[in-house]
């Protein structure tokens, strides 16, 4: 038996034009994970809520389940985070990556949704947006159950610090376990990643800002290894 309509908080992940006036909206919702819905008539000039269904806007949406697509029958703005993001290429790319990553690992846990909206809010005026993205990736990987080991060897649990990192091995690896192709890293880089995973961006900025590119490279490599795909938004940042 099909359930009735429901409301949920949501972020737009992507959109596709559909028919003459409709639009398919992929939503990251707080309670229901990824929901694909159709917003009917929103491309018409007189649409009641079409302008709200855009990136970097937190919404309160009314949804009616369907066989393949839900119907989005209403949307009210809860938070507008686009200011300071859409006019800066790096912030925009980082914010887009946050949404793409959330869409890949969402399981309907409100904690991930709250972390996503919080990161978008912080990105609006971020001085080092890459650092915020990396903190989000580390938190998202912990949520998914495959956060990198950053002190003990990921293979044998030998206490660190270690100076090698391999995503396939699980993160930091000791001299005896390191696979071929492991990245040589300073133990302090892994320590900064440990601080970042706990939300301490200020400490990284204060002590070792020169390590940000290496932190981003290792974090991105670990995420994409476990997703088993390269994310387009992260590829754009690599070329910036």
pLDDT tens-digit series, residues 179-196: 999 999 999 999 999 999
pTM attached to this predicted model: 0.91
So what's the pLDDT on residue 101?
95
Neighbours of 174 (CB within 10 A): 19
So what's the pLDDT on residue 91?
95
Closest CA to 99 of 70, 47, 137, 135: 137
CB 131 within 8 A of CB 200: no
So what's the pLDDT on residue 127?
87
Q: What's the longest Cα–Cα distance across the chain?
A: 66
So what's the pLDDT on residue 236?
84
φ and ψ at residue 8, rounded to 5 degrees:
-160, 155
- Residues 50, 52, 56, 59, Cα dihedral to 10°: -120
Confidence class for position 1, pLDDT limits 50, 70, 90? very low
Intrachain domains 6-80 and 89-239 with the same fold = no
Strand partners, 34: 28
Neighbours of 131 (CB within 10 A): 21
So what's the pLDDT on residue 121?
95
Q: What superfamily in CATH does domain 6-80 come from?
A: Nucleic acid-binding proteins (2.40.50.140)
Q: At residue 47, does pLDDT exceed 80?
A: no
Tens of pLDDT, residue by residue over 20-46, are 888 899 999 999 999 999 988 777 767
Please give the share of the chain, as a percent, with pLDDT higher than 90: 65
- In sequence order, which residues have a C-beta less than 8 Å from that of residue 1 and are 6 or more positions away? none
So what's the pLDDT on residue 28?
95
Ordered by start, the domain boundaries in the chain are 6-80, 89-239
Q: How far apart are the first and last CA of the chain?
A: 50
Neighbours of 83 (CB within 10 A): 10
Q: How far apart are CA 25 and CA 111, in angstroms?
A: 22
Confidence class for position 52, pLDDT limits 50, 70, 90? confident
Pairing label, strands 70-80, 57-64: antiparallel
Pairing label, strands 6-18, 22-29: antiparallel
Q: At residue 50, does pLDDT exceed 60?
A: yes
So what's the pLDDT on residue 240?
64
Q: At residue 2, does pLDDT exceed 60?
A: no
Rounded mean pLDDT of 77-101? 94
Q: How far apart are CA 197 and CA 4, in angstroms?
A: 40
CB 167 within 8 A of CB 226: yes
Q: Which fold has domain 89-239?
A: de novo design (two linked rop proteins) (1.20.1440)
Q: How far apart are CA 162 and CA 175, in angstroms?
A: 8
């Amino acid at each position: 038996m099909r359930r009735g309509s429901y409301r949920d908080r949501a972020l737009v992940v992507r959109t596709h034009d559909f028919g003459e006036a409709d639009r398919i909206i992929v939503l990251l919702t707080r309670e229901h994970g990824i929901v694909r819905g159709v917003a009917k008539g929103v491309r018409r000039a007189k649409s009641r809520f079409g302008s709200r269904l855009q990136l970097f806007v937190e919404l309160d949406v009314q949804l009616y389940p369907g066989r393949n697509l839900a119907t989005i029958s209403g949307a009210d703005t809860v938070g507008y985070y686009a200011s300071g993001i859409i006019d800066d290429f790096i912030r925009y790319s980082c914010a887009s990556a946050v949404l793409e990553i959330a869409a890949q690992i969402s399981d309907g846990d409100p904690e991930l949704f709250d972390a996503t909206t919080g990161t978008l809010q912080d990105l609006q005026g971020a001085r080092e947006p890459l650092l915020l993205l990396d903190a989000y990736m580390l938190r998202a990987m912990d949520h998914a159950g495959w956060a990198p080991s950053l002190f003990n060897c990921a293979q044998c649990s030998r206490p660190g610090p270690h100076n090698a990192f391999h995503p396939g091995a699980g993160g930091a690896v000791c001299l005896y376990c390191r696979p071929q192709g492991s990245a040589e890293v300073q133990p302090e880089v892994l320590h900064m990643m440990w601080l970042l995973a706990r939300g301490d961006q200020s400490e990284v900025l204060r002590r070792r800002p020169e390590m940000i590119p290496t932190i981003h490279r290792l974090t991105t490599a670990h995420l994409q290894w476990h997703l088993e795909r390269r994310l387009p938004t992260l590829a754009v940042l690599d070329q910036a």
